[in-house]
């Protein structure tokens, strides 16, 4: 790989153009072959810097390969394969093209070594992923997609402004670690751009707004890449920024509070992305090697088990057409495989022993305990809410609550295979954590399976389970609308459109009439006056006089054209006498 380095991003991006050409089994084979090849390419990479290109005086680096980028690329390509397998039955080429561009741009950010390359792939991520929302083709999806795109455009503008200011400060676009000491406006603008994609409150509401409205397969891809790519760039550049530790802890609690009261299964899972990414952002803010390792490990585990949860909820939506908990119940008799896979995702995200969440989430919590006690307590509170809402509430009301009368079939084979692979990884990482620990950025000196840690987690989970049984009636989902901070820009946009359509439109119409009646008439009259004075009297007069002079001179000269040699000789002699006289007496 030292002589030839292949960026897996381009396997997906270039591969997306071939999707419409292929048909039938050839297309399905190709769709699986691209992420499988990318996964093998990532596993064969050596650390180093590759793909440096000079462009307009800038050095663009497409291949910054180290332990941090490799672990994210490893799980990105793995999840891409699982996601493609899950959506293999989808006939809509547009969804496959959008997902390939989305995955490819995420990998492009992961291996980028400069801000320009990051920004290019960052924007491709936004514009490709929005189609995974729009392809659901409902009015809600169209509206949510537009809001999603507008918010991400704003985030991109913050990022671009920070990048340009940063270039003015340091004179280059190199992307790397930044010290919290002496951080400038440029640094915080870049951080805001990254934090928006990480769904850090209060700039998070685009996520629970858009993800539940995405297509069944689109939501699986979206839950894996946008926020985790943001976690990667934050870990790369902003480790040790205390503000991130505080914001991450707030995220962890904020997300579960909304998840507990939500009714829609995919909105519950969307809010839990906010919560779980909060653990990662918090670990990055703490900045110690253990905390960054914990954030990275949790990102890896989260991509798999959150994808599994979205696949389980998506399977229910695919087979029943419903995702609201109050409309579901009693499905355990008809979809037992989806039940098993969803419960696996639920206990993994809750941190049950022998699942991936147990060996990843606790590492960040352990680092927080030695950092600031209030942050540690907030993360523990979030853990209670996680098990309560996703580990208990979600599966109970989908699978075991009062029979809804629905009798769906099991999901298609490819969907169950994809969920089976993800479930296996959840248990494999929980049983054999060394596989993940060996990929982390720093050496791991922490053992998750100790008696104290095991007892602590089990007490937390068992008491949460007891609380769920006692509060079951209170937790019964209701078809209500829960307002979030997106209320402000939803209402704000309506106010803006009203102002634009009413007062401003009326004012513009009035101003147009005044302009046409007074300014336009005045301009025409004044220009006519100038035409008569300057064009007719002055300019035309001068031109006509000059033309008349040359006409008269031509008439005189014409008299000399007699055709007689003696006359021409006379004029030549006369000219010679004049020239000699001038020369002698000057």
Following DSSP, what letter does each residue of 244-309 receive, concatenated?
HHHHHHHHHHHHHHHHHH--BHHHHHHHHHHHHHHHHHHHHHH-SHHHHHHHHHHHHHHHHHHHHH
Identify the burial level of 438 via C-beta atoms within 10 angstroms of its C-beta, where 0-12 means exposed, 13-18 middle and 19 or more buried. exposed
CA dist 442 and 333 (Å) reads: 46
Q: Which residues of 91-106 are buried (b: 16+ CB within 10 A; e: fewer)?
A: eeeebbbbbbbbbbbb
pLDDT confidence of residue 288 = 94
- 3-class SS at 51? strand
DSSP β-bridge partners for residue 564? none
First vs last C-alpha separation in the chain? 89
CA dist 517 and 524 (Å) reads: 11
**Lookup: tokens for 70:** 């490799």
CA dist 375 and 365 (Å) reads: 9
- 3-class SS at 87? coil
Query: Tell me, what DSSP letter sits at residue 321?
Result: S
pLDDT confidence of residue 495 = 74
State which H helix or E strand residue 192 sits in: helix 185-197
CA dist 12 and 35 (Å) reads: 8
- 3-class SS at 380? helix
pLDDT confidence of residue 2 = 42
pLDDT confidence of residue 8 = 96
Identify the burial level of 130 via C-beta atoms within 10 angstroms of its C-beta, where 0-12 means exposed, 13-18 middle and 19 or more buried. buried
Whether 193 contacts 156, CB under 8 Å: yes
pLDDT confidence of residue 531 = 61
CA dist 201 and 278 (Å) reads: 10
Per-residue pLDDT of the chain (586 residues; tens, 9 = 90+): 345 789 999 999 999 999 999 999 999 999 999 999 999 999 999 999 998 888 888 889 999 999 999 999 999 999 999 999 999 999 999 999 999 999 999 999 999 999 999 999 999 999 999 999 999 999 999 999 999 999 999 999 999 999 999 999 998 999 999 999 988 999 999 999 999 999 999 999 999 999 999 999 999 999 999 999 999 999 999 999 999 999 999 999 999 999 989 999 999 999 999 999 999 999 999 999 999 999 999 999 999 999 999 999 999 999 999 999 999 999 999 999 999 999 999 999 999 999 999 999 889 999 998 899 999 999 999 999 999 999 999 999 999 988 888 899 999 999 999 999 999 999 999 999 999 999 999 999 889 999 988 998 999 899 999 988 888 888 888 887 788 887 777 777 777 666 666 677 676 666 667 766 666 677 777 777 766 666 666 666 666 667 666 566 666 556 555 555 556 566 666 766 766 676 666 5
CA dist 161 and 314 (Å) reads: 38
Which residues are within 8 A (CB) of 278 and not within 5 positions of it... i.e. 6 or more apart?
A: 247, 248, 249, 250, 251, 252, 253, 254, 255, 382
- 3-class SS at 138? coil
Phi, psi of 5 (to 5 degrees): -120, 130
CA dist 69 and 67 (Å) reads: 6
Provide the Cα torsion 401, 391, 277, 45; round to 10°. -110
Q: Assign 3-class secondary structure to 478-520.
A: CCCCCCCCHHHHHHHHHHHHHHHHCHHHHHHHHHHHHHHHHHH
**Lookup: tokens for 531:** 């035409």
State which H helix or E strand residue 55 sits in: strand 48-55
DSSP β-bridge partners for residue 49? 64
CA dist 420 and 382 (Å) reads: 27
Closest CA to 107 of 220, 238, 184, 6: 6
- 3-class SS at 109? helix
CA dist 77 and 15 (Å) reads: 14
């Amino acid at each position: 790989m030292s002589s030839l380095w292949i960026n897996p991003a381009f396997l997906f991006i270039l591969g997306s153009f071939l999707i419409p050409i292929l048909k039938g089994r050839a297309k399905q084979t190709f769709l699986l072959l691209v992420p499988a090849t990318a996964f093998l390419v990532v596993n064969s990479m050596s650390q180093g810097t590759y793909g440096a290109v000079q462009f307009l005086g800038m050095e663009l680096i497409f291949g910054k390969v180290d332990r941090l980028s490799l672990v994210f690329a490893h799980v990105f390509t793995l999840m891409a394969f699982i996601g493609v397998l899950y959506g293999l039955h989808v006939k809509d080429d547009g969804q496959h093209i959008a997902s390939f561009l989305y995955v490819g741009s995420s990998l492009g950010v992961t291996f980028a070594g400069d801000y320009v390359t990051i920004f290019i792939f960052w924007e491709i991520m936004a514009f490709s992923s929005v189609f995974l929302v729009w392809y659901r083709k409902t009015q809600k999806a169209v509206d949510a997609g537009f809001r999603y795109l507008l918010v991400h455009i704003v985030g991109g503008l913050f990022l671009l402004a920070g990048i340009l200011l940063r270039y003015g400060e340091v004179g280059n676009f190199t992307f790397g670690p930044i010290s919290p000491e002496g951080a400038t406006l440029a640094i915080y603008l870049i951080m805001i751009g990254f934090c928006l994609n990480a769904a850090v409150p209060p700039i998070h509401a685009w996520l629970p707004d858009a993800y539940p409205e995405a297509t069944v397969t689109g939501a699986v891809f979206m839950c894996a890449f946008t926020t985790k790519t943001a976690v990667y760039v934050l870990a790369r550049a902003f480790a040790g920024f205390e503000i991130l530790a505080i914001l991450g802890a707030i995220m962890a609690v904020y997300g579960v509070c909304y998840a507990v009261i939500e009714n829609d299964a995919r909105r519950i899972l969307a809010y839990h992305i906010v919560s779980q990414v909060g653990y990662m952002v918090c670990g990055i803010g703490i900045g110690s090697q253990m905390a960054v390792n914990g954030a990275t490990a949790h990102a890896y585990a989260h991509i798999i088990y959150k994808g599994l949860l979205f696949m389980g909820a998506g399977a229910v939506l695919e087979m029943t057409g419903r995702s609201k908990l109050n409309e579901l119940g009693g499905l355990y008799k008809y979809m037992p495989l989806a039940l098993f896979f969803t419960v696996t995702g639920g206990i993994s995200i809750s941190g049950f022993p022998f699942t991936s969440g147990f060996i990843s989430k606790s590492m960040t919590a352990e680092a927080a305990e030695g950092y600031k006690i209030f942050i540690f307590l907030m993360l523990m509170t979030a853990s209670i809410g996680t098990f309560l809402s996703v580990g208990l509430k979600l599966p109970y009301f989908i699978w075991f609550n009062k029979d809804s009368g629905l009798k769906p079939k099991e999901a298609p084979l490819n969907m169950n295979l994809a969920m089976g692979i993800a479930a296996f990884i959840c248990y494999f990482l929980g049983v054999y954590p060394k596989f993940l620990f060996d990929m982390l950025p720093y050496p791991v000196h922490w053992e998750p399976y100790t008696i104290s840690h095991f007892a602590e987690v089990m007490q937390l989970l068992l008491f949460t389970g007891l609380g769920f049984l006692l509060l079951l009636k209170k937790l019964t989902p209701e078809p209500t609308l829960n307002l979030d901070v997106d209320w402000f820009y939803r209402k704000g946009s309506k106010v803006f459109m009203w102002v634009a359509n009413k007062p401003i439109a009326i004012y513009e119409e009035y101003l147009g009439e005044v302009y046409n009646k007074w300014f336009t008439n005045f301009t025409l009259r004044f220009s006519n006056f100038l035409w008569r004075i300057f064009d007719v009297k002055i300019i035309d007069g001068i031109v006509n006089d000059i033309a008349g002079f040359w006409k008269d001179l031509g008439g005189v000269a014409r008299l000399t054209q007699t055709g007689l040699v003696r006359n021409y000789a006379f004029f030549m002699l006369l000219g010679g006498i004049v020239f000699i006289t001038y020369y002698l007496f000057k």
